[in-house]
Structure formats: C-alpha cells, structure tokens
Amino acid sequence: MTRTSALSTSLSLLLLSLAPACGPKSSAGATPPAEAPTFAAQAQRGQALYGEHCASCHGASGEGGRAPALVGESALPQAPSGGQRDVEFRTAGDVFQWMKTHMPPNAPGSLGDAAYLDILAFDLQANKVDPGPAPLDADSAAQVVLHP
C-alpha cells in the first residue's frame, strides 16, 4: 500500500467513526429541550432586569418616580412629554429602539438587545399588552402597535 493510499484509508475510517456523532440523531429516546422560549418567560426575566436596572428611577412597579411611569394609564404615551424622549412611541419597536439608545441614563446601550427586549416584555405584560406566545425580537416588537 502506498503512503497516499494508507493516508486516504485512515482518513476514511476516521470520518466514518465520527459520522454517527456528527450526523442527525434519532428522535427515539431523545430528551426534549427544557422549556421552549415564550413571551411569558421573557417577561419574567425582564422583571428581574427591570428591578436591577430601572426600578430606582421608574418605581418598583413602574409607577414612576424620578422618571416617567412605565406601567398604567399614563405609561408610554405616543407623543413625547418632555424630558429626554424626542420620538413617538407608536409600536413596541419604537420603545425598544429608544431604550437601547438612552437607557440606563448613566450607561446607555450597555444592557444588550436581549436584556432590553426582556425588560420591554415585562413592561408590555404589566400594561396588559399581549403580543402572542412567542418571545419578542426586534422585528416582532415593531409589529406590536401601542397607539394606532
């Protein structure tokens, strides 16, 4: 056997031995994934993040304080009402984009998209806005109309 032929045979055997580990798995006996992500689970994560990053200004329950209310009748009005905000909140996507750019005030943009979306999910849930069972992402948030 030539050296090239022996090398080729060795590589073939190695690839064949790895194929079962890398290929598709049979569903028989497979463990299902933990819990599929949901909007409710996202909002629950957002509640903890809200408490950590937002409550000191917006109130423990989003009722307002040093900063505007995020929960209740006066929460997230469409038109800017002074302060830092200079954009209209027509959709949850508008809120998401604004949050990413301005919050928290001492470190804007520092939380990352996933955390901002979790906090937004908590805020929407607290305001009884139901975007459906799937977790929010930037695209789906843009479809959640707050003010028609």
Mean pLDDT, residues 68-96? 89
pTM of the model: 0.74
d(CA 118, CA 122) in angstroms, rounded, equals 6
Distances 40 to 18, 21, 115, 127 between C-alpha atoms, Å: 40, 35, 14, 13
Taking the CA of residue 100 as centre, how many other CA atoms within 13 Å lie in the half-sphere pointing to its CB?
A: 14
Nearest alpha-carbon partner for 84 in 101, 61, 71: 101
- Cross-strand bridge partners of residue 91: 145
Could you tell me if 121 and 50 are in contact, meaning their C-beta atoms sit under 8 angstroms apart?
Answer: no
| 9-55 pLDDT per residue, tens | 333 332 333 333 333 333 344 443 445 589 999 999 999 999 999 99
Higher-pLDDT residue of 80 and 56 is 56
Nearest alpha-carbon partner for 108 in 61, 55, 53, 70: 53
What confidence score (pLDDT) does residue 21 get?
35
| 83-142 pLDDT per residue, tens | 788 889 999 999 999 999 999 999 999 999 999 999 999 999 999 999 999 999 999 999
